[in-house]
Amino acid sequence: MTAWREPVGDLWLTGRVLGPEDFPTVRALHHQSLVGQPPGLVNPETDAFLADHLGALGLTLGVFGGDGVLVAYAILGLPTAEAAYNFGRVVGVADLGRVAHLDGVAVAPAWRGRGLHRGLVTRRLTLAAEAGRRVVVATIAPLNRPSLRTALGAGLRVRAVHPMFASRALRFLVVRDLEGEPMLETTQPLRLPLGATEALHERLVQGWRGYALDEAADHLLLATERAGDGS
C-alpha cells in the first residue's frame, strides 16, 4: 500500500506513505501539534527521529487535503531486535524482532475529531502484520484521552506505566498481540483514575490489563485474564 483514499465525513482525502522529501511538512505539522498542549502530554520528536522514520526505521503515513496540504501523519516504527529504541523490551516481549511501534501521530487542529487518527491506527496495524511484526506497542501519556481511547478501541491494552524517552515522562505502554490477546474477565472491572499512576503500576505488575475508559474518560477500566484462557 503506497497510496489510498481516506474517507472523512463526506470528503475523500488522499493518503500515501511519505518519504524523505516530506520531512519539512511532517516537521511543521509535528511542531504545530505541540502548540497549546499541556506540558508532558505529547513527546517532542527530534528531527533525526522524524527523518529516520521517513526512511529505514519505519513507515510514515500522511493524509492530504484537497489543496495538497498535509493534514495528518502517523508513524509506524519497525525497530530491529537489537535497537535500544524497542519498546518490546519494556514489556518483556521475547521476540524483539517482531515488535512494531505505533509512534508519533498528529492531526491538524481543524481536522480533529473526524476519525482520522482511528483510521491511521487501523492502517498501521495492517502494515505491521504485513511487515511480519506480531506485537504492536504504543506509548501514550496517561492523560492523553483521545489517543488512549483510540488505541484501546483498536484492541490494544495498557500493560505497563513506565518513565520513557529523554524526559523520563510517565507513559502507558499499550500493547496488542496481533495473533490474539487473551480473553479478559470484564464482569467486575477495577476502575482507577488515569492520573493514579502508582496505583495503576501496582495493578499492572499484578497482571491487570487496562482495556477501556469509563464514559467520562477519567478512569481506566482494568481486568484480569480469564482463567484457563491461554490464547
**Is the CA virtual torsion 47, 97, 16, 113 positive or negative?**
negative
Whole-angstrom distance, CA of residue 135 vs CA of residue 124: 12
Under the binding rule (CB under 6 A), the answer on residue 195 touching ligand COA is no
Residues in the interface with ligand COA (CB under 6 A) total 21
Under the binding rule (CB under 6 A), the answer on residue 89 touching ligand COA is no
Site string for ligand COA, 200-229 (x = CB under 6 A): -----------------x------------
Give me the least distance between CB of 118 and ligand COA, in Å please.
4
Q: Which is nearer to ligand COA, 174 or 200 (CB)?
A: 174
Under the binding rule (CB under 6 A), the answer on residue 143 touching ligand COA is no
Tell me the three cell numbers of residue 86.
Answer: 524497542
Stretch that binds ligand COA, among 90-98, 115-123, 203-211, 222-230 (CB under 6 A): 115-123
Spatial strand order in the sheet of 11-17: 3-8, 11-17, 58-64, 70-77, 99-107, 135-140, 169-177, 157-164, 209-213, 219-225, 184-193
Stretch that binds ligand COA, among 14-22, 75-83, 109-117, 158-166 (CB under 6 A): 109-117
Q: Which residues of 104-122 are buried (b: 16+ CB within 10 A; e: fewer)?
A: bbbbbeebeebebbebbbe
Residues 6+ apart with CB under 8 A from 178: 125, 128, 129, 133, 134, 135, 136
Stretch that binds ligand COA, among 51-59, 91-99, 102-110, 193-201 (CB under 6 A): 102-110
Under the binding rule (CB under 6 A), the answer on residue 106 touching ligand COA is yes
Q: What are phi and psi of 227, to 5 degrees?
A: -55, 135
Q: How far is CA 190 from the centre of its chain?
A: 23
Under the binding rule (CB under 6 A), the answer on residue 197 touching ligand COA is no
Give me the least distance between CB of 138 and ligand COA, in Å please.
7
Q: Which is nearer to ligand COA, 9 or 230 (CB)?
A: 9
- Which DSSP category does 46 fall into? P
Residue in 72, 127, 139 with CA at minimum distance from that of residue 102? 139
Site for ligand COA in 51-70 (CB under 6 A): none
Using the rule CB under 6 A, which residue among 16, 27, 89, 118 binds ligand COA? 118
Under the binding rule (CB under 6 A), the answer on residue 125 touching ligand COA is no
Binding residues vs ligand COA (CB under 6 A)? 33, 42, 105-107, 112-118, 140, 144-147, 149-150, 153, 217
